[in-house]
Structure 1
Amino acid sequence: MSAATAGVVGILALFVLLVLRVPVAFAMFIVGFVGIWSLNGLNAATSLLASEAFTLGSSPELVVIPLFILMGNVASITGMSRHLYDAAYAVIGSVKGGLASATVLGCGGFAALSGSSVASALTMGKVALGEMERYKYDPRLST
């Protein structure tokens, strides 16, 4: 099978798996593994799987995500996030939707500082959801 044919078959297989409601990560894994297997053989696919698993697990970009989640939990448990939201509400609480706008800006600032949008979404989501509910924001807006 040529590489172009394998690519087209892989894309179609990915769409079929997604229509069958297979999670995206698993669907991409299955299609990628089978594609490498069909083009280069089973030994190449399994060795690539082992080396990529180690490479991704030891990458500095992914190692920091649990640390940012820990930081968000510490901020939430110690009450630091509550105090920050109280201060933000005192400053811009009179503006309609001001706290929601401050949350978006805070999330953007945290993403710029951390360099990871995933870590920012996880950390700020943990902190902001409870605080926005406390100030009676609509849950559809909070999430």
Structure 2
Amino acid sequence: MEPHYMGLIGMGVMLLLILMHVPIGVAMGIAGVATFGMIRGNLAPALTLFGTETVGKVGSAELAVIPLFLLMGSFATVGGLSSDLYRIAHALIGHIRGGLAV
């Protein structure tokens, strides 16, 4: 079977899984692994690649910033910095029409 048709089958599987209310990320992962396995003719390399890439992306420095950003926001809230910033912004641009929405 041509790889183009296998790709279309993979897209169909993904859409079917989404219509079955499977989360989109899970549906994309299942369809991608299944399609890669069909193209290669063996599911083992697809599962190995899926595991390696997943661990590599989750352990990346780009995603490590997200919990630190949330921690910084918590510190700002507990320390009162966020309410101070709101009061300063309201004093500076609160009189403009639209005020803080701008």
TM-score if structure 2 supplies the norm length? 0.86
> 1:119 maps to which residue?
none
User: Aligned residues: percent identity?
Assistant: 38
Structure 2 counterpart of 1:35, which letter? T
Higher RCO (C-alpha 8 Å, min separation 6): 1
Deviations 1:43-82, CA, capped at 9 Å, x for gaps: 1012102211221022111121111111112112211111
AA matched with 1:29: G
Which whole-Å deviations, capped at 9, do the CAs of 1:85-121 have from their partners, x for residues lacking one?
11101111122322122xxxxxxxxxxxxxxxxxxxx
> What code does the residue aligned with 1:49 have?
F
Question: 2:67 — aligned with what?
Answer: 66
Instruction: Report the counterpart of residue 26 of structure 2 in structure 1.
Output: 26
Q: Which residue does the alignment assign to 1:100?
A: 101
Q: CA RMSD in A?
A: 1.5
One-letter amino acid matched to 1:82: S
User: C-alpha distance in 2, partners of 1:91/1:6?
Assistant: 59
Query: What displacement does 1:19 show?
Result: 2.3
The count of residues paired between Structure 1 and Structure 2 equals: 101
The higher radius of gyration belongs to 2
Write the distance in 1 (CA, Å) between the matches of 2:5 and 2:88.
Answer: 59
Q: Structure 2: any 5+ residue segments left out of the alignment?
A: none
CA distance in 2, matches of 1:96, 1:24: 41
CA distance in 2: counterparts of 1:19 and 1:100, whole angstroms: 38
Describe the SS at the equivalent of 1:16. Answer: helix
Q: Which residues in structure 2 correspond to 1:103-122 (within 5 Å)?
A: none
TM-score normalised by the chain length of structure 1: 0.64
- Listed as ranges, the gaps of 5+ residues in structure 1 are 102-143
